[in-house]
Amino acid sequence: MGSRNERRSTSFSGPVDWRNRRNLMSISELFSKLKDAFKKSDFSLVEETLIAREEMLKEEIEKMKRESELSAERMKFEKLERVTLEFKLEKIQEEMKQKALMKNGNDRGHVVPVKNRRVADGNGVASSADAVAGENVGVLVKDNKRVDEQSKKDRL
């Protein structure tokens, strides 16, 4: 017996023989050729079986297409939901930063330099660094007043 590939490449009685063109033929055409080669009762049974299988496979393909479409929609929805949640998270984080700045006495949200800031040493005596911190706060207060005045002028 020859290998499977050898049997496939076997040429039959000529280029017009239906067995040489079987891959180009429709299922109906193949059934017609088979009908001539087998008993009608056997052929009818095989035909019914193959038609049932074909219908089952078509239904399965349609089901898979619907599942694929549903999965694609679900992925789009989840992506949109993720982007929305990321946006909300960024907004909440920004609000928390603003609240933290306001809690530290900065109602405008300006950055306050605090690296030299000290209330006093352990004995309650202010050091020279306190003067620097006081100057920084004073500059910030003046800046806030100037911004408030400018805002009032802009409204008029």
Under 8 Å between Cβ of 18 and 25:
yes
Under 8 Å between Cβ of 118 and 127:
yes
SS3 123: coil
Q: CA 33, CA 56: separation in Å to the nearest integer?
A: 24
pLDDT, tens digit, for every residue of 50-87? 888 889 999 999 999 999 999 999 999 999 999 999 99
Q: CA 150, CA 117: separation in Å to the nearest integer?
A: 29
Mean pLDDT value across the chain:
71
pLDDT, tens digit, for every residue of 3-19? 444 444 555 555 566 56
Residue 94 — very low, low, confident or very high, per pLDDT cuts 50/70/90?
A: very high
SS3 12: coil
Query: How much is the pLDDT for 117?
Result: 47
Q: Tokens for 125, please give them.
A: 């005596």
Report the b/e string of 34-58 with b at 16+ CB within 10 A.
Answer: eeeeeeeeeeeeeeeeeeeeeeeee
User: What mean pLDDT is predicted for residues 106-126?
Assistant: 51
User: What mean pLDDT is predicted for residues 111-121?
Assistant: 50
pTM of the model: 0.38
The half-sphere exposure of 96 on its side-chain side, counting CA atoms within 13 A, is 6
| Every domain of the chain and the residues it spans | 106-156
pLDDT, tens digit, for every residue of 29-54? 777 777 776 677 777 777 787 888 88
Q: CA 56, CA 39: separation in Å to the nearest integer?
A: 26
